[in-house]
Amino acid sequence: MVEITTISVVFFMIDSFCLWKTQFEQSTFTMPSNWQITGAYSANRVYVCAGKSIVGGYGIVGAGSTIQGSFSNLPTHTTIKVQINVYYLQSWDEETASINVGGLVFYRMWDQNWGVNPICVTGIGKVFLETIQGSHSADTLQIIIATNLNENSYNESIGIREVYIYLKTPKCVQFYSECNYTGTMKEWCQGSPNLQRKNRPQQIKSIKLNCCGIVTLTKKGQGSITITENVPCLTEFDFPLVNNVN
Ligand SMILES: [Ca+2]
């Protein structure tokens, strides 16, 4: 009997970044545990602005308040890009917001006279999709949004929704012969795949994708499985042990 197994790998990258995580995309949401507000003006953490939840905002985040998000277990990466829709609500008067993404700091000065729109029940505001990008390699990330507002959150406030975290990661997939990324490792990288017979995995028990790949394992007559996240121990696919002659 001849067993035929195929491995396919596809990398999905946008502008060389991969989208690692999104938060606050739903119309309405509750505050997740990885975000906190300090100096809040209310026990509420989410304000509903024109039918959409935002973190912070009117009656919650004003002078002296900060919004903080924490992330861990980021895959190996060299560069980060974070995009956040930031709501500058009500009577900002040449005041500045700072968005600190793992030490990369973006500033925007804003004034209500520079062009606000009626966006929430409480009146006026402006939404900007802010982009913060730069070198970053730590496996943890903190996002801190602060302001130098000088009035309470009923007069001037800030809120956020739609947080996108993009990473530049190695475009490589590692196949390991044993669980928990141990044993013999074979690596396939985009652009320079080494498909020589000796570089084919002989047995696959764990796979590291580094966030941006899709691996499909197909065994003739027995279907296929698709993998989009790191797999520490592959049990559902019986990858045949083969002897590589070269
Ligand atoms: Ca002010």
- Could you tell me the residue ranges of all domains in the chain? 5-13+170-227, 31-168
CATH architecture assignment, domain 31-168: Sandwich (2.60)
pLDDT of residue 245: 46
pLDDT of residue 192: 67
State pTM to two decimals.
Answer: 0.80
State the distance from the centre of ligand 1 to the C-alpha of 88, rounded, in angstroms: 12
Alpha-carbon Rg for the chain in angstroms: 23
Distance of CA 204 to the CA centre of its chain: 28
pLDDT of residue 181: 93
State the distance from the centre of ligand 1 to the C-alpha of 75, rounded, in angstroms: 40
pLDDT of residue 243: 52
Low-confidence stretches of the chain (pLDDT < 70) are 1-4, 12-15, 121-123, 192-195, 236-246
Say whether 78 sits in a helix, a strand or coil: coil
State the distance from the centre of ligand 1 to the C-alpha of 83, rounded, in angstroms: 25
State the distance from the centre of ligand 1 to the C-alpha of 116, rounded, in angstroms: 15
State the distance from the centre of ligand 1 to the C-alpha of 147, rounded, in angstroms: 10
- CA proximity to 215, closest of 228, 230, 201, 232: 228
Tokens of 120: 């929430």
State the distance from the centre of ligand 1 to the C-alpha of 64, rounded, in angstroms: 12
**What phi and psi values does residue 109 have, to the nearest 5 degrees?**
-90, 140
Distance of CA 116 to the CA centre of its chain: 29
Decide: 66 and 142 in contact? Cβ < 8 Å.
no
State the distance from the centre of ligand 1 to the C-alpha of 95, rounded, in angstroms: 7
State the distance from the centre of ligand 1 to the C-alpha of 91, rounded, in angstroms: 7
Tokens of 224: 């296929």
